[in-house]
Chains A and B, each alone.
Chain A
């Protein structure tokens, strides 16, 4: 029977179907996990419940005759700049359910994207450009604490003792996405690709499943506030340890894995009961001061016999520079800054869209602050939070980052269409779900190939851009603000970013 509610929300999307081309194969019916597609055997027609459609585009993907087009629903509220449709609907829903509205992926609101206002340099005439097809281009990056100076003995061998590093073939790693927020197959895709590429993936809060220990040399293991799956073996299995204090998508609160996504596999890996919500506490309950953090860093270094870099991940918030400084002084070998546009499997909608600051500004400030204090060499700075293309990566490195994580882009190579319904555990692409019927669709062999292609493509583009700038090493770009210019930015923006406006020499 039709459900009568106290409010009316028009469906967001409409599934348009060319019935002349539809062959009733019902692949779309079987592939839709949102109960939006059905087969009517009596009339021999495929029908849709448009209100249930989330525009994941899985049906469009699978349809062998391309007869499906999912479009925005035509029915909208009266045009109102102050009250756009989603805010109206949010009030209706909260009036009905009295709860927190959840969402997935990164902030989709129209805040300025600073990457789109920054331009890179290129060489002309003076300081000629380098042809990356003819000259070697160094993209290799080392994450870890660097010594103050290098000293050599009388034979020319390095005398300075160096701290443990992770060597990356390219300054791009795969962001922290826990087994639980994503499926085993998705996690495997990241691990496989990182291993083949010579870069790193990150366990996120969900622990490291036994099957992935062989990939440990290229996995950064995370120690988050819930301490899910953290044991001595776990810490030593990875290439580095990252203490997760915050996450860009939801600064100030802990991770959230809805109970629907906690099946036997997740339960065993995280060491929690099946079906229970896995909510990480907001703070680490043993870290209430910077000294506490230092103690944890020291403890982790001891537990890993000082053989691995130990770092800290924080969300980009208002006083991120001061926090980063404190973290570095507390002994962290690397600091990960996660901008407010970073993705998540589940976060409150309000928090995701309104809390935190852009990564571009955060990195610029952190880099400047650490350099000013003369401690920039003590820790690598890693950026995260919607790095969407190779030029974004170039820009964030020029603003001061040593390397960056990609999360959203990595998932997109597995098919993600950014429909933002990860928290439902019904991901039609088998990425952010534990439902075996759905996770089967994600083939780690095929998808890791795609992810490797992406990273190789970006690396190649970076080499082109570096060469274009007359640089042959990514190290030369690191923190080199002079290679950036701003367009359409205010003086304050330019000042915070530490870059000149375009046109200024």
Chain B
């Protein structure tokens, strides 16, 4: 329903101290727009203090959708990755290792759901997507959604 709390939940979960206030503490404004600022400009929403959530909320009037990685059985991104930075773990999660990513953006080209984004900022340049919250039983976005719009199921 366009509340975008899924983005907030995702950011909290992926912040160093998983506390909502500290995660969003005033960040110094970057000299050039970083990925979060650019996404905010394109979608007309909050830049979330420069943090890029791993889910993308689309909105077209009353139609909204929170899109994140489907952790496909046959991941297009993994097929396209030229450095082997993307792998499928035993529990099924498809993970990007930012240390191995060379920012060629082939995964962005390949993902039919468009749920991989460039994460570019000060000293940061790699691909970025949902990692299914490895430290949680249910992903943060599913837990925080007030309207049961996100379902977490085995398929």
- Residues on A lying within 8 angstroms of B by beta carbon are 20-21, 23-27, 30-31, 39, 61-62, 64-65, 435-437, 439-441, 443, 445-446
Asked whether, in the complex, the Cβ of A446 is within 8 Å of the Cβ of B48, the reply is no
Q: How far is the CB of B1 from chain A (nearest CB, A)?
A: 5
Contact of B62 among A24, A39, A440, A445 (CB under 8 A): A440
Asked whether, in the complex, the Cβ of B8 is within 8 Å of the Cβ of A64, the reply is yes
Q: Which 9 A-B pairs have the closest CB atoms?
A: A436-B62, A23-B24, A437-B62, A26-B46, A441-B1, A440-B1, A27-B3, A443-B147, A25-B8
Asked whether, in the complex, the Cβ of A27 is within 8 Å of the Cβ of B4, the reply is yes
> In this complex, what residue of B is CB-closest to A442?
B147
Asked whether, in the complex, the Cβ of B61 is within 8 Å of the Cβ of A23, the reply is no
Contact of A446 among B8, B49, B144, B147 (CB under 8 A): B147
What 1/0 mask marks residues of chain B from 142 to 155 whose CB sits below 8 Å from any chain A CB? 00101110000000
Asked whether, in the complex, the Cβ of B144 is within 8 Å of the Cβ of A64, the reply is yes
User: Is B20 in the interface zone, CB < 8 Å from A?
Assistant: yes
> In this complex, what residue of B is CB-closest to A46?
B46
Residue of A23, A30, A440, A445 with most partner-chain B CB within 10 A: A23
Asked whether, in the complex, the Cβ of A440 is within 8 Å of the Cβ of B64, the reply is yes
> In this complex, what residue of A is CB-closest to B45?
A26
Chain A residue numbers with a CB within 8 Å of B21 are 20-21, 23, 65
Asked whether, in the complex, the Cβ of B146 is within 8 Å of the Cβ of A62, the reply is yes
User: Is B5 in the interface zone, CB < 8 Å from A?
Assistant: yes
Asked whether, in the complex, the Cβ of B148 is within 8 Å of the Cβ of A64, the reply is no
**Further pairs besides A23-B21, A30-B4, A443-B148: 10, Cβ < 8 Å:** A20-B21, A23-B49, A27-B5, A27-B8, A31-B3, A64-B5, A435-B62, A437-B61, A437-B62, A441-B147
Instruction: Known A443-B147, A443-B148; judge A25-B4 contact (CB<8 A).
Output: yes
User: Is B2 in the interface zone, CB < 8 Å from A?
Assistant: yes
Contact of A62 among B5, B46, B64 (CB under 8 A): B5
**Bound complex: CA of A305 vs CA of B148, how far in Å?**
43
Chain A residue numbers with a CB within 8 Å of B9 are 64
Kindly identify, within residues 30 to 72 of chain B, every residue whose CB is under 8 Å from any CB belonging to chain A. 45-46, 48-49, 61-62, 64
Instruction: Known A30-B4, A64-B8, A440-B62; judge A24-B148 contact (CB<8 A).
Output: no
> In this complex, what residue of B is CB-closest to A66?
B20
Residue of A21, A25, A441 with most partner-chain B CB within 10 A: A25
Chain B residue numbers with a CB within 8 Å of A441 are 1, 147
List the count of A-B residue pairs having beta carbons below 8 Å apart. 63
> In this complex, what residue of B is CB-closest to A443?
B147
Asked whether, in the complex, the Cβ of A62 is within 8 Å of the Cβ of B49, the reply is no
Chain B residue numbers with a CB within 8 Å of A30 are 2-4
Instruction: Known A21-B21, A23-B24; judge A62-B3 contact (CB<8 A).
Output: yes
Q: Please list 9 pairs of residues, one from A and one from B, whose beta carbons are closer than 8 Å in the complex, sorted by A's number.
A: A24-B46, A25-B5, A26-B45, A27-B3, A27-B5, A65-B20, A437-B62, A440-B62, A441-B147
Kindly identify, within residues 1 to 37 of chain B, every residue whose CB is under 8 Å from any CB belonging to chain A. 1-5, 7-9, 20-21, 23-24
Chain B residue numbers with a CB within 8 Å of A445 are 148
Chain A residue numbers with a CB within 8 Å of B49 are 23-24
Instruction: Known A21-B21, A64-B20, A437-B62; judge A39-B46 contact (CB<8 A).
Output: yes
Q: How far is the CB of B81 from chain A (nearest CB, A)?
A: 32
Q: How far is the CB of B52 from chain A (nearest CB, A)?
A: 14
Chain B residue numbers with a CB within 8 Å of A435 are 62
**Bound complex: CA of A31 vs CA of B146, how far in Å?**
12
Asked whether, in the complex, the Cβ of B148 is within 8 Å of the Cβ of A446, the reply is yes
> In this complex, what residue of B is CB-closest to A437?
B62
Q: How far is the CB of B21 from chain A (nearest CB, A)?
A: 6
**Bound complex: CA of A21 vs CA of B25, how far in Å?**
9
**Bound complex: CA of A446 vs CA of B8, how far in Å?**
22
Contact of A24 among B1, B20, B24, B147 (CB under 8 A): B24
**Bound complex: CA of A25 vs CA of B148, how far in Å?**
20
**Bound complex: CA of A219 vs CA of B3, how far in Å?**
34
Q: How far is the CB of A20 from chain B (nearest CB, A)?
A: 8
**Bound complex: CA of A62 vs CA of B144, how far in Å?**
10
Chain A residue numbers with a CB within 8 Å of B46 are 24-26, 39
**Bound complex: CA of A140 vs CA of B116, how far in Å?**
57
Chain A residue numbers with a CB within 8 Å of B61 are 436-437
**Bound complex: CA of A503 vs CA of B148, how far in Å?**
52
> In this complex, what residue of A is CB-closest to B3?
A27
Chain A residue numbers with a CB within 8 Å of B45 are 26
**Bound complex: CA of A437 vs CA of B62, how far in Å?**
4
> In this complex, what residue of A is CB-closest to B12?
A64
Chain B residue numbers with a CB within 8 Å of A439 are 62
What 1/0 mask marks residues of chain B from 102 to 122 whose CB sits below 8 Å from any chain A CB? 000000000000000000000
Q: How far is the CB of B118 from chain A (nearest CB, A)?
A: 22
Chain B residue numbers with a CB within 8 Å of A436 are 61-62
Chain B residue numbers with a CB within 8 Å of A440 are 1, 62, 64, 147
Q: How far is the CB of B70 from chain A (nearest CB, A)?
A: 23
> In this complex, what residue of A is CB-closest to B9?
A64
Q: How far is the CB of B55 from chain A (nearest CB, A)?
A: 14
